[in-house]
Amino acid sequence: MGRRGWWPENLCLALSWEFLAVVDTLAVVGATGAVGRIILRLLEEREFPARNFKLLASKRSAGTTVTFRGAEHTVEEMTPEAFEGVELAIGSTPDDIAEQFVPWAVERGATVVDESGFWRMDPKVPLVVPEVNPDAIAEHRGIIASPNCSTTQMVLAMKPLHDAGRIRRVVVSTYQATSGAGLGGSRELKAASRANLNGDEFSPETFAYPIAFNLIPQIGSEKHAGYTSEEMKMVYETRKIFGDDSLRVCPTCVRVPVSNCHSESILVETERKISVDEARELFAATPGITVVDDLAGKRYPMPADCDGHDDVFIGRIREDLSCDNGLAFWCVSDNLRKGAATNAVQIAELLVARKLAASQA
């Protein structure tokens, strides 16, 4: 699949990024973080059509240099004035930082694609996965939110089934990698594993308990009726993306000792029965999804194989034995890429595509 293969037909223009710098200045906010660095790599690999790039981060990281597009770029401190002249910004920061910087950027005329959780449920802010609801960006007022990583891969997997048979109910259990907790999570998995193998005491900092050789069935704070904040994000964000508050979503989110890639066991109930064969065909025909489904051959998606890829991988497709119109499957995706950086860059590309389409209308 090409990098623009998921665009709606009316935006699939025969264009090359190289012919024109469509965006004058693009800022990457949180450029030195784990996701920020992947965003920079993707902007370079996908030859994003901006004339100038500005790398912004906290005061602590300001002054460091990052190699981007073959040149050294100095990271600037994120201040209100830093957004002067910025046309488009992609941000990957904690919620409290996004609460601050996004208004600064918008007030100065920038459109912001925000990775944080702060703006996602704002009714004035579209929440977008380009393969699922690209038209939602037309409603933006300067801010477009990218969903939580666990939501992103699930809704992309749901999309073809929802279009074909309308999903009424989803039961999902997530197996979320430590990288989802940032650089600290990745470091802690290594340190905790080393301590465990050496028989040493270990005091966790990022997680509530040692993560090595363990599972922690809580991600986020207690939120609603025994569900955590991470679980309720999946409920609210899924409904918003599909524009359907009647969708019933029952999530359980678990942190697992895997360095990268979130896995999900998903069961959906549809209004119209969808067979396993039909589901496999629907998944295979959907841009952004790769099917790996051969139980007899012991072939199915695993984090070790999906790391570093942009697609959502689906396997173990089977009928639900407890429900006539139920379908169960296994879903794995790189949470730092499609779950975060790739989705944000795709949103930015979609904005560029619409700008080009408008200029040619």
Domain spans of the chain, in order of start: 9-148+340-360, 151-336
Q: Identify the CATH number of the domain defined by range 9-148+340-360.
A: 3.40.50.720
pTM score, whole prediction = 0.93
Give the helix/strand (H/E) hosting 318.
strand 312-319
Please determine, for residue 337, whether its predicted confidence score (pLDDT) is greater than 70: yes
pLDDT value at 319 more than 90? yes
- Least confident piece of the model among 3-17, 25-39, 88-102, 322-336: 3-17
Angle at 120 between CA 115 and CA 124, to 5 degrees: 125
Least-confidence region, from 1-5, 125-129, 334-338:
1-5
Q: How confident is the model at residue 10 (pLDDT cuts 50, 70, 90)?
A: very low
Q: Please say if the pLDDT value at position 153 is more than 70.
A: yes
How many CB atoms are closer than 10 A to CB 18?
8
Decide if pLDDT at 84 tops 90: yes
Task: Kindly indicate the confidence band of residue 20, based on its pLDDT and cuts at 50, 70 and 90.
Answer: low
By CB neighbour count within 10 A (0-12 exposed, 13-18 middle, 19+ buried), where does 94 fall? middle
pLDDT digit string, tens, across residues 161-216: 999 999 999 999 999 999 999 989 999 999 999 999 999 999 999 999 999 999 99
Under the banding of pLDDT at 50, 70 and 90, the label for residue 359 is confident
**Whether pLDDT at 7 is above 50:** no
What does the pLDDT look like over 285-307, one tens digit per residue?
A: 999 999 999 999 999 999 999 99
Starting at the earlier edge strand, list the strands of the sheet with 50-57: 76-77, 50-57, 23-29, 88-91, 111-114, 143-145
User: Which pLDDT value is given to residue 9?
Assistant: 42
- Name the CATH architecture for the domain at 151-336: 2-Layer Sandwich (3.30)
Q: What mean pLDDT, rounded, does the chain reach?
A: 94
As annotated, the active-site residues are 149, 262
